[in-house]
Structure 1
Amino acid sequence: MSSGVKVCDSVIECFTNMKVRKMCSKEEGKKRKKAVLLVLNDSQELIVLDKKKEILSGDLMDGTITDALQVFAEMLPKNGCCYALFDLSYETKESKKEELVFIHWNPDAATVKDKMVYASSADALRKKIIGIKHEWQITSLEDLLDVNVWAEKLGQNVVSVECRKVELQCH
């Protein structure tokens, strides 16, 4: 089901900047977005950046933010849906990695109408953000803040997510 919603050009530009890693100065690197929220505008015709809800890499570099997942969780609307792009840092037994994750925040407290509008509009966004490796629907802050849930979604051998140690699961 498609809603006919369009994606604002600034969303596509932001996605491209987050996805493409290029050499830059330390100052330019500080302006790099770690996480952004994407919402429907008031008329629900356009997916736009929520300019007040973002985390910059510089906030982590200078220590303003020490726990990106916690700050990200606090940015999410408690009773409403949104989309997010999160530049996730994690470590496997072999290497450190960063991958862009597309999140559909769909909390239990959201109205049925809100859930339906966002679910039907997600396809418009998916078509514009080509190359996302991970797409997750998250419905609770508990799952969002549980690095073991993230590690399970990322695959085998994950030992930490956003500098938080993963509890190794015995099978």
Structure 2
Amino acid sequence: MANSASGVAVNDECKLVFLELKARRAHRYVLFKLDDGSQQVVVDKVGPSSENYEDFTNSLPMDDCRYAVFDYDFTTDENCHKSKIFFIAWSPDTAKVRTKMLYASSKDRFKRELDGIQVELQATDPSEMSWDILKARAF
């Protein structure tokens, strides 16, 4: 089903890969992009569970937008292991204006397809999604 605001649909693989991250912890992160040819959101890159946050941030393009989910594992002060799933809307200042507008108008519809998102971040530069910001938003 296409997004009424932007005309962009969501590829079924996006939901399947997200479920693998959420239910089985099979991935550390997933990057999604808007495919110009098919006018739908598709999986761009899947980061294995062995990768870390630095691997994730290094995989984001510096000149193009992406949607991303990141599985943030942490231990509370009570020594309890927890996990939060972050949705990150990556829209760097160097991306084309039309691209940024298309990602912005499709974001809410796409995010609704991913049931289980716990925290949302919007970032235009790596400092807006630093490790410290993630830690602060997880609690």
Give 1:45's aligned residue. 39
Measure how far apart 1:5 and its partner are. Answer: 0.9
Letter in 1 for 2:23: V
Structure 1's 135 and 47: CA in aligned 2 closer, same or farther, altered over 3 A?
same
List gaps (5 residues or longer) in structure 1: 22-28, 156-171
Measure how far apart 1:83 and its partner are. Answer: 0.3
Letter in 2 for 1:103: I
Aligned residue runs from structure 1 range 1-171, under 5 A: 2-21=5-24, 32-43=26-37, 45-50=39-44, 53-57=45-49, 60=50, 65=51, 68-94=52-78, 95-144=80-129, 146-155=130-139
Contact 1:5 1:124 in 2 (8 A): no
CA distance in 1, matches of 2:103, 2:5: 10
Alignment length (residue pairs): 135
CA distance in 2, matches of 1:55, 1:80: 18
Aligned CA-pair RMSD: 1.8
Question: What TM-score comes out, normalization by structure 1 length?
Answer: 0.72
Moved over 4 A (4+): none
CA distance in 1, matches of 2:61, 2:114: 22
Measure how far apart 1:127 and its partner are. Answer: 2.1
Letter in 2 for 1:12: K
Measure how far apart 1:44 and its partner are. Answer: 5.9
Measure how far apart 1:4 and its partner are. Answer: 2.1
Identical pairs, percent: 34
Give 1:161's aligned residue. none
List gaps (5 residues or longer) in structure 2: none
